[in-house]
Amino acid sequence: MLNKPRGYVSTLKDPEGRRLVTDLVENVPERLFPVGRLDYNTEGLLLLTNDGDLAQHLSHPRNHVDKTYLVKVRGDLSRSLIQRLETGIELEDGMTAAAKVSNVRGAGPHCWFELTIHEGRNRQVRRMCEKLGLSVLRLKRIQLGFLTLGELKSGSFRHLSSAETRKLKQIILIFLFIRYFFLRYAIIFRLTELELILVSEVFVLLDSYIGAVLPL
């Protein structure tokens, strides 16, 4: 787990010659690659691994892994804007899934809040805020699934414990079983589009619950 600073790209190479997140873990003997991406000016929790299957399952949007961001914007986050974030924002690539807004607090002309999403679109949080007329001044991922940054300093990393790695793999395995039975159910009972959406939302809630209750 790396606490990515701003000014690094989450790729293995960059044609512009910018600094890579792998530069921060160059003392690790294994060849690591990022699980998903944080853009150049976004900081916070980023997993790096040499396990390709684990990376694919964690980063794929259909697996509904919650990601929580600490967001600082210029302007005020009104109740109506919170409602729009939580019900979905129409972006160029389609409507976003329901998000969760928490810990809203003002600081002069700025506002801080936490935003939890489970999709992984390019610059999604920034684009959601921009659509509402909010200029993002700082963006930091503070949680991925059950993993949190804690006291990990910017630019530093730590190895996941064996218990944390085991829990990640258990969650992924459970999700795969749930998804298999969900698809079987949908085919057998020929669910309508609305019914599929409702069952999918239940799946998202169950996803979050499993991640929270499984012991380390």
Beta bridge partners of 74: 110, 135
Q: Is 53 a catalytic residue?
A: no
Count other Cβ atoms within 10 Å, centred on residue 50.
12
If phi over 0 gives left and psi between -120 and 50 gives alpha, with beta otherwise, what is residue 44? Answer: left
DSSP-based three-state secondary structure for 205: helix
From the CA atom positions of the chain, what is the Rg in Å?
18
Provide the 8-state DSSP code for 36. Answer: S
Would you say 63 and 57 are in contact if contact means Cβ atoms under 8 Å apart? yes
The one catalytic residue in 39, 66, 93, 207 is 39
Provide the 8-state DSSP code for 203. Answer: H
What positions carry a catalytic annotation? 39
